[in-house]
Structure 1
Amino acid sequence: MFVAIYRWRIDPDGEHDFVANWHRITRRGLAAGSGGSSLFRDAEGCWVAIARWESRQARDAAMRSLAGDAVDAELSERARRAVLQRFPDQELDGVLDCWAPLPANPTAQGRSR
């Protein structure tokens, strides 16, 4: 397993566009072989995404295949403008994978503070 962790500070006025765009990218990644992603916001307001892939090579190949595909260029641009600060990515190679699927909780889907 390979995991990429992304972190940003997001303009509160652009949070909706940022989340919608991340969700769109994750759906496209799932179709390309991703293990999915999760998006979080910490207590200091920093946004954190964790994306899972079978391997770094699988992620790189999927990103190459999706590059240049302007499915929703306007939403992507609004999401890019919402980023006030981007922190360095962290890429992790799995050593032990003990994650278990969580039970579905439809009330938690898309919930924000």
Structure 2
Amino acid sequence: MKAAIYRWKVAPGDEEYFARRWHEITDDIMRDHGGGGSRLHRAENGDFVAYARWPSKEARDKAFADYSKDPSRTIPQREGKAELVEEIWLDITDDLLIPEADLPDRFR
């Protein structure tokens, strides 16, 4: 299994739009294109950072290509509302991240 870390700079005023579209695109990719889910974070400097799981880099490349074939789909980068500034690929060697539903009350 692979993981990717993505970092975007989002145009001022487009943060809410970016977060909503990230959620919708991630749902679509999980449902229709084999993605393993993702988490979106906001960094101290205002950048958005996501961590996503994939079966392979090739599966991600195919999912993104298939998703992007439809020109009617709005993608923040394609609209000039965000810029992907970093992508880091990782091999998952161990996983101790607690699923959201199983987190202790101190996290709520």
TM range (shorter): 0.7 to 0.9
Contact 2:21–2:76 (CA<8 Å) still a contact in 1?
no
Q: CA RMSD in A?
A: 2.4
Q: TM-score, normalised by structure 1?
A: 0.73
Aligned residues: 102
Sort the Cα spacing of 1:79 and 1:45 in 2 relative to 1 into closer, same or farther, 3 A. Answer: farther
1:87 to 59, 78, 85: 85
Residues 27-42 of structure 1 aligned to structure 2 (within 5 Å): 27-31=27-31, 32-42=33-43
Gaps of 5+ in 2: 104-108
Contact 1:21–1:79 (CA<8 Å) still a contact in 2?
no
Gaps of 5+ in 1: 106-113
1:100 counterpart SS class: coil
**Sequence identity (%):** 34
Cα separation, 2, equivalents of 1:90 and 1:77: 20
Sort the Cα spacing of 1:72 and 1:25 in 2 relative to 1 into closer, same or farther, 3 A. Answer: same
Report deviation, 1:78: 7.9
Q: TM-score, normalised by structure 2?
A: 0.76
